[in-house]
Structure 1
């Protein structure tokens, strides 16, 4: 019976656990075995937390049997990106060779909240070294090796939450926690054909998570469905005295249908430089969404969105790792370009950083106006990425010319807005593509409702990779 639950939603797993039809111990053992046997095939796992997981599973089984059911995550195994601190001697490597033996005395707040919900930590998952903050441009930028995409292990799972996307897609965990500074949740969600939710900046405490960019970093879930993302966000969101940037707003997931048509905006030119199948699938998704939404094109204000957000990211990353850079430890990183990338970031002028901060304020105000009032949009949408997964040995961007424009990524991360990516098709080579819905600050329930409505009309999220040979 157990193999049939591998690609089962959190909501359904939770109900089976609640009724006793499924055992937390058996479920945890199943996913530990998959992590230990299939994890190396994808380079998706840094550390399995078997002892801690089995102790938590035994406790969950006893609690549920006694009638103390904590909620839909009780007894559900999960993995955490390896920049999230874990206690008990479990390493937190930040994906980087110089920190491969690093440990912390305390769990990060997000780990504490998931434990309080009854979820079971089974693994620390692979990531791009230092969350990509040193300027990498190819998949090999991790001491655990390039993270492989379960749909085709010769392609990349995406960065920097590489292991989180691959582990959910490959059925190694029911859900995972990733982080995003600029694309690091939506990219693996797109490449691996899963749902990935980037919450509003400050919605989830970052206490205990590696700091790359203080004003851009966000933690969020990668799951099989949009509904699962809502269930996980409900458990991890909320104020935290240990993190002064955590919002005081309380989040409660609303899984009920909205009961009205959505109003969606497609930025002009959003698919101009997008790969053929990513563009085609986006256009087909618009046709599907027309059943539940009114869709209009929208002209965005003329601002240098990518320059704003990337300047802030580069300057703050250089500051976050200034001692590491000064000690010359960048030479110990895996990706050759990461040996010199940090030094370029230290050359950013303070005047440029301040200018970017000022322009970010204007950007946030101008974009918020598009969502304002009864005539405003519920969400802006576009392809999650400009291309499906690239080859495991390919540069995914040029070190000189960079990426195709990622306007929604720049706006969403620069202004701290929530977005969710869900799968919207497959190429003839069997690689998934994604569509993203970006909403107003603190409007996670709205973007989740739109994504749920889309998934109710399609079955892309019900397709899963074959077992590796």
Structure 2
């Protein structure tokens, strides 16, 4: 990071004293016009040429002013379209009570207890928060290198927070079900006194003296931060500056990304839960690959203050857990806004672990299911299980051509991500990033420089229509079930519209023995329903109770 800042300062020093002498020529405009799908006459180019040259001067002046990653746009994305209502009437939530829980005879089994079970052990003083925290710290030390999932072990912070939790509980000040429970953060959240590396070599010594909103929320709930986990460099994939995060079911495979470490560590029982983020699949994909349950909430449900910005109109924060009620507990703690992220919205979360499935209006995305080659695929089995539990499930076409006539996500995410890391490209610091393939950020950031502002703006206008269309589709459903990955553009569409999804483990692939998952899509701000349905599904299936043999 120090070298990166030095390069910026040298560039500013040089460009302040010396203006660039090369001018844009007529042939340059002719070539650029082809890239942007434009056709100008010779006379039109002669007329506009001096204005383009003047604009270049403005760009050069703008480039001399450093923009930290934390500076947001003045235009804020929102899911609050006309007709979208927000319920702010919060009811008390009755979490599952795990009465009579005892410490296991085989200590390692404690790693896979649910949050209610761990909370009961702490409340009944069968284990202290310090003891539980030390247990998970020991597991991280034992398995962190094996999984390549760890960036920072926050041992001193954790033990201090655990000691405080024990003291508060001893004095009758019980904050709630997360009090004294250890967890981990994806290492793009700032925490004072820790490195925040973003998984990328240029930032591996970066320290941001700020506490992210999500960390503050969990701190207020009494949870204990034990680690900051890996992410693919700058939130892409599972390759980071220290290697590749491993899949706990098969160490020869990666854990997918970009919430790579959060998913891998949670499934391996290194923490009860971890926090991830998603821009275009970064919770759903590693949760699917590793067999975790991942909740990508409605866009704007959790303030992103203190989190690395990748794409201001797409970034979302959510929990990665092993079961649905754990995810509901964590989400309830982190949701909300501090008034600093103007895309964030306060809304009620009225979760109940008692669901009358017969009253739910459930559809399944028939056009995506029909793409599955195997009629006995795990996705179809989910439909059967829910029908046996009393659900009525009807086919629905999730319209692709009508809703999503072109890959607007490529334009939107490309322009926004490249803007956030403009200086990496401009000063060639992107050469320090570990991965340099065609699909990796260095090339993607360069490619995005050829997206015209007009095309980006018009893509956002098409996105507005998409948001309206998907909202209209959901008016007849509480839940729409879809394959999680590789079935079409559902993942891109719902990330663009901001609709919530919970990715739920639903078995293993018969050929590869890799975990598979199903996605429950919900209405805006209705995480409660999809999580309740996920809990019901997990109550009648064994997948959340199966754990990788190496880490038992």
TM-score for the superposition, normalised by structure 1: 0.90
CA distance change for structure 1 residues 284 and 250 in 2, over 3 Å: closer, same or farther?
closer
Match of 2:338 among 226, 229, 240: 240
Match of 2:307 among 203, 206, 209: 209
User: What residue is the counterpart of 2:480 in the other structure?
Assistant: 380
Question: How far is 1:258 from its partner?
Answer: 4.0
Q: Is the 8 A contact 1:239 1:249 kept in 2?
A: no
Q: Does 1:440 align with 2:543?
A: no
Distance in structure 2 (CA, Å) of the matches to 1:68 and 1:241: 28
Q: Is the 8 A contact 1:238 1:251 kept in 2?
A: no
User: What residue is the counterpart of 2:93 in the other structure?
Assistant: none
Distance in structure 1 (CA, Å) of the matches to 2:528 and 2:150: 31
Higher RCO structure, 1 or 2 (CA under 8 Å, sep 6+): 1
TM-score for the superposition, normalised by structure 2: 0.77
Match of 1:358 among 461, 464, 470: 461
CA distance change for structure 1 residues 99 and 238 in 2, over 3 Å: closer, same or farther?
same
User: What residue is the counterpart of 2:414 in the other structure?
Assistant: 314
Distance in structure 1 (CA, Å) of the matches to 2:200 and 2:124: 42
> Which structure would you say has the larger Rg?
2
- Per-residue Cα deviation, 1:31-74 (whole angstroms, up to 9, x for no partner): 11111110110111111000000000101111112211111111
Distance in structure 1 (CA, Å) of the matches to 2:473 and 2:258: 30
Distance in structure 1 (CA, Å) of the matches to 2:281 and 2:463: 17
User: What residue is the counterpart of 1:422 in the other structure?
Assistant: 504
- Per-residue Cα deviation, 1:214-237 (whole angstroms, up to 9, x for no partner): 010000000010111000000000
Match of 1:92 among 196, 221, 224: 196
User: What residue is the counterpart of 1:171 in the other structure?
Assistant: 269
Match of 1:46, SS state, is strand
Question: How far is 1:385 from its partner?
Answer: 2.0
Q: Does 1:119 align with 2:223?
A: yes
Question: How far is 1:300 from its partner?
Answer: 2.8
Distance in structure 2 (CA, Å) of the matches to 1:96 and 1:170: 24
Distance in structure 2 (CA, Å) of the matches to 1:464 and 1:269: 32
User: What residue is the counterpart of 1:389 in the other structure?
Assistant: none
Distance in structure 2 (CA, Å) of the matches to 1:117 and 1:253: 18
Question: How far is 1:3 from its partner?
Answer: 2.3
User: What residue is the counterpart of 1:190 in the other structure?
Assistant: 288
Distance in structure 1 (CA, Å) of the matches to 2:206 and 2:370: 44
Q: Is the 8 A contact 1:267 1:298 kept in 2?
A: yes
Distance in structure 1 (CA, Å) of the matches to 2:373 and 2:218: 38
Q: Does 1:280 align with 2:363?
A: no
Distance in structure 2 (CA, Å) of the matches to 1:161 and 1:122: 17
Distance in structure 1 (CA, Å) of the matches to 2:434 and 2:168: 44
Distance in structure 2 (CA, Å) of the matches to 1:273 and 1:260: 28
The runs of at least 4 consecutive aligned structure 1 residues that moved more than 6 Å come to: none
Question: How far is 1:92 from its partner?
Answer: 0.5
CA distance change for structure 1 residues 11 and 406 in 2, over 3 Å: closer, same or farther?
farther
User: What residue is the counterpart of 1:110 in the other structure?
Assistant: 214
Match of 1:57, SS state, is helix
Question: How far is 1:209 from its partner?
Answer: 0.3
- Per-residue Cα deviation, 1:72-95 (whole angstroms, up to 9, x for no partner): 11111000000011111x100001
Question: How far is 1:303 from its partner?
Answer: 2.6
Q: Does 1:256 align with 2:391?
A: no
Q: Is the 8 A contact 1:306 1:410 kept in 2?
A: no
Deviates most, 225-234 or 426-435: 426-435
User: What residue is the counterpart of 2:17 in the other structure?
Assistant: none
Match of 2:121 among 3, 16, 24: 16
Distance in structure 1 (CA, Å) of the matches to 2:414 and 2:550: 39
Distance in structure 1 (CA, Å) of the matches to 2:420 and 2:535: 37
Q: Is the 8 A contact 1:439 1:446 kept in 2?
A: yes
Question: How far is 1:157 from its partner?
Answer: 0.9
Q: Does 1:410 align with 2:514?
A: no
Q: Does 1:228 align with 2:302?
A: no
Give the number of equivalent residue pairs: 440
